[in-house]
Each structure stands twice: as C-alpha cells, then as structure tokens.
Amino acid sequence: MTQLVTFTLAGDHYAADVRRVREVVRAGALTPVPLTLPEVAGLTNLRGQILVCLDLRPLLALPAPEAGAAQMLLVVELAGEPVGLLVDDVGEVLDVDPAELRPPPSTLAAPLRGFITGAHPLPERLLLVLDFDALLVPDPSAPKEHP
C-alpha cells in the first residue's frame, strides 16, 4: 500500500506521497523575492527556518486564488531541502494500492501533464498524483541563460 496525502488547488483534487511531506501549516505572510520565477511566491520563516514557498498555480496553468483567500503550506522535501508548496486546502491521507493507479488522463492540459505521475479514481472525483521532483525540472521553453 502507498499512502497519499490529498489536497485541493483551484477546485481540482491532487495527491502526493505522504512520505515526502514534513508538515502542513497555515500559510502566513510571505516576503516577496524580486526578479524570480512566477512560481516563487516568496519566503517565509517557519520556526526560525527560512523556506522558499512555491505557488503551484503558475506551474500547473491554474488561475490565481481570490484575493485574501486562506491557503495552506505543504512543507515538502525537494532536492534535500524543505520547500513550502501553497495549496488551497489539505484533505486526508489515503491508503492506495499502487495497482489501482492509472496513467494520467490524455485530456490533461500540456502544462499539467509533466507534473502528474498517475491518477486514482474515487467514487466522486479523480485524484491526480503530483510528482514533487518534476517541479524542479526547468521549463524547456524558458530562455537560456548565457555565461
């Protein structure tokens, strides 16, 4: 069995391997980081540790949240470092048989397809399983930096 933590983002349901999640906290004030990528929402101080916080919405081509909407922070490990991921809400932890995971639907929008490793059908919705490591892969269409 695999355990997946569920969360919502722009009304869609996602899941990720719970072993990658360190903790879940309410998102507080973020300090903006100038001249950075759109997915870098800012920095936050979590009990004395400065975390980079990523907004998944630009990466997944989702609309921005309503102004003042409360968000949660999934603190995950990416490349050995803790990183905060902004999500709308965190749900439950599900025990899932890996054999029940299906390939991502072919109808997924192109930006989303590269971040989803599978789908888990539930009676009332489809959970898309997010690959945290894919978040670190640079966009091939992004301009290249010159030395």
Residue 135's pLDDT band (boundaries 50, 70, 90)?
confident
Residue 62 domain flag: yes
Rounded Cα distance between 88 and 65, Å, is 8
Q: For the chain, where are the E strands, in sequence order?
A: 2-9, 12-17, 21-26, 40-46, 49-55, 72-78, 81-87, 89-96, 116-121, 126-130
Residue 141 domain flag: no
Instruction: Render pLDDT for 25-60 as a digit per residue (tens, 0 to 9).
Output: 999 889 999 999 989 999 999 999 999 999 999 888
Residue 18's pLDDT band (boundaries 50, 70, 90)?
very high
Model pTM? 0.85
Q: What is the total count of domains within the chain?
A: 1
Residue 113 domain flag: yes
Residue 114 domain flag: yes
Q: What is the mean pLDDT of the chain?
A: 87
The CATH number for 42's domain is: 2.40.50.180
Instruction: Render pLDDT for 98-124 as a digit per residue (tens, 0 to 9).
Output: 888 999 888 888 778 888 999 998 888
